[in-house]
Structure 1
Amino acid sequence: MALKKFAQTRWNVEAQRVTLYPYRIFNALSIAFGIILIGFMVVAYIMLEQDPVVSFSTGVPMFITFAIIVALIWAVGRTVVVFDNEARMMRKKLFGVLSIRSERFDDLANVGMVRNTMGGFNYRAFPKRDKYGKGVVVSASYAKDDDPNAIALSDEAFSVISKFLSAGYQVNDNAQLLITDFKFYDNNPPYYSIKRNVVGGLIIGLALLAVGVNELINHSITHDSDTFHKVLVIVAFLGFGAIFAFSAFTKVTFDTNAKTVSRENLLGIGNQTYSFADFINFQITRRTTNMIYSGTDVKMYFQIPGSNKQKILPLKSFRSTKKIDRFLEESRYIMGIR
């Protein structure tokens, strides 16, 4: 518990400046690392070297090396993100000193929440040129929405930052953009269906199924493996093949007459239908595989009438975040919302 508190985001709010410390986890790691290294050196001194001269000649360089490593880890924890309203600039300073990224307030879209595939989240600042990209990390990671530190950070720091950013924002009083050429929807009023790559998904699905069936019969890949690994490989190929083939025939349709959005498939398994009136917001989730970016998912959140529960409707996955803005514009236009 103490380590978690030590690693939480810290912030300093002044009249014209907000300073955030999002990497304090490295301060905690440096302390733990330092304790481990000191213990290692003590054991090495006692067990390996009995001659004081030899111990000194080998121990001092080792201590200096370890001390530098610990100091660097600690310094990373001092990295800050500063929102300076006087200069109208956001600056990220490595070690709290070296400016490694700067963005003008006029070029920032917002500070928003980014969820990962495990359900955790952190906050990031996004430039307008890439509003759904990697962004600039401005907080530690949180596991739950009701984390007290996350709530306090939003209330005390992000509320002030929002005022800084909105001070120079030019409101557009024009009517909602008229969209006649849909890039992501098949337009057949009152029905608008998200375009699908049916052929591509079907080919991949059938190919995986074919490999799985072949493996089931001939054991081409797992001929030297034990039974457990053979079953694991076969199930993986057949399972992923079925998912790709099944998803190729799954479609999401907006019905502007009934004011509903539905996700349906040929078998009718897991079909979902929600009312526009219950729509809460869109959510963007960045997916990572082994710490490597693997795509971004766009989902819709709906409130279940008569309960406190919410439901998620997956819409579309993207490899390039630059296309998400247009997709959201078209989706909002179809639903009649800004």
Structure 2
Amino acid sequence: MAKTFWISEPDTLTIYPARIARRLSIIYFIVFTALIAVLYTSKTLSNTNLVLTYEGLIILMSLLVYVMGERKVIFDAESRQLSTKLFGITTSTTPFDQIAAITPYDTMGAISYRAFSKSNRHGKGIILSCGYSKQNNPNLTAYEQEVLPRINELVFSNRPLHTKQVIYDFKFFNEENGIYKITHNKLSGLIFGVLLIALTVFILFHPDFMDDRASYKRILVTYFPAIIGLVLVNGFFSSVSFDKNNRQIIDTTLGGLIKKTYSFDDFIQFQIIRKSTNFIYTDTEVKALIDLPGQNKTKPLLVINFRRTRHIERFIDEANTILGLYEPAPVEIS
């Protein structure tokens, strides 16, 4: 049911991140009001004051959901501002020059695109789409193919060339013969993974373990640690490299047994995804969004994750330098 609406015009792009909420609010009001009416007429709920209280709460919740659906975000090329409006009233504005990036944001497993300002690059951002729980959602695919390029045209295309000093002292890459391999300390994950696998082996050598519990519980406790352990061990032997000579991004798993390559030309952008569990921040993933030629879809490739976000900008600067997206700053000759 996740769906984002947008209207693209010559000088403006209007996005309704949660317009479907208007329809849901009406459905919510009708269904629960009918339920209250049935309970009242059947004498299951006979207290009139209590019925009025419930109906008041239903109306209040319906209005709140409807208000969510009325929120819209406007990219205006003439004023070069991103503005958020509610019932025609502007609630916030952000100049295009202050927008750092448009990237996905992960909330409880649902991905929504957001605009992040330079002053709060890794904050919560401004919501620009509804939350998508599936990467292959048709509306998400259309959004990435139509809305993201339009935003790039309005916001970023007219900016002056972003120049940076060429980076020679890479902190997140090891270079060998033109291949830059991401360095990331995964030793703790390997150790923890091995311990989890060892736990499963230990349980298998003790057949009487939890023999007084339901079989599905014993199976879960026995094999779930091994599954998590294998994922962590595989993560240790997996890597992402940038082959500058052949202009390829190389994704290897299982110690190199499985290798996939993607062209630099198919790279779209980096996605910065903050992840949380039960509303508690866990880590931030950096993914490379890659266009898959001939397949009419994109693939987010996990490149690296960070617990602390202060290193992310440096990592992206290094990666963009390797990808050739930064022009070196001109050398001043005296």
Is TM (by shorter chain) over 0.5?
A: yes
State how far apart, in whole Å, the 1-side matches of 2:41 and 2:9 are.
Answer: 49
- 1:44-83 matched pairs, under 5 angstroms: 44-48=39-43, 56-83=48-75
1:284 aligns with 2:279: no
- 1:77-226 matched pairs, under 5 angstroms: 77-83=69-75, 88-93=80-85, 97=89, 99=91, 101-110=92-101, 112=102, 114=104, 122-131=112-121, 134-141=124-131, 144=136, 147=139, 150=142, 154=146, 159=150, 165-166=155-156, 170-172=159-161, 174=163, 177-218=165-206, 222=210, 224-226=212-214
1:332 aligns with 2:320: yes
Q: 1:194–1:252: 8 Å Cα contact kept in structure 2?
A: yes
Point out the more displaced range, 80-89 or 144-153.
144-153
Which of 288, 292, 298 is the matching residue for 1:299? 288
Q: 1:78–1:96: 8 Å Cα contact kept in structure 2?
A: no
> Deviation of residue 321 (structure 1)?
4.5
Provide closer, same or farther for how the CA distance between residues 70 and 221 of structure 1 changes in structure 2, counting only shifts above 3 A: farther
Structure 2 match to 1:235: 223
Structure 2 match to 1:20: 15
State how far apart, in whole Å, the 1-side matches of 2:21 and 2:230 are.
Answer: 43
Backbone CA RMSD of aligned residues: 4.3
Q: Indicate the SS of the match to 1:126.
A: strand
> Deviation of residue 33 (structure 1)?
1.3
Q: 1:124–1:136: 8 Å Cα contact kept in structure 2?
A: yes
Provide the identity percentage. Answer: 27
State how far apart, in whole Å, the 2-side matches of 1:205 and 1:270 are.
Answer: 20
* Deviations 1:315-337 (CA, angstroms, capped at 9, x unpaired): 22233444333223212322434
- Scaled by the length of structure 1, the TM-score of the pair is 0.73
Q: Indicate the SS of the match to 2:205.
A: helix
Structure number with greater Rg is: 1
Q: 1:280–1:303: 8 Å Cα contact kept in structure 2?
A: no
Gaps of 5+ in 1: none
Q: 2:249–2:264: 8 Å Cα contact kept in structure 1?
A: no
State how far apart, in whole Å, the 2-side matches of 1:278 and 1:88 are.
Answer: 29
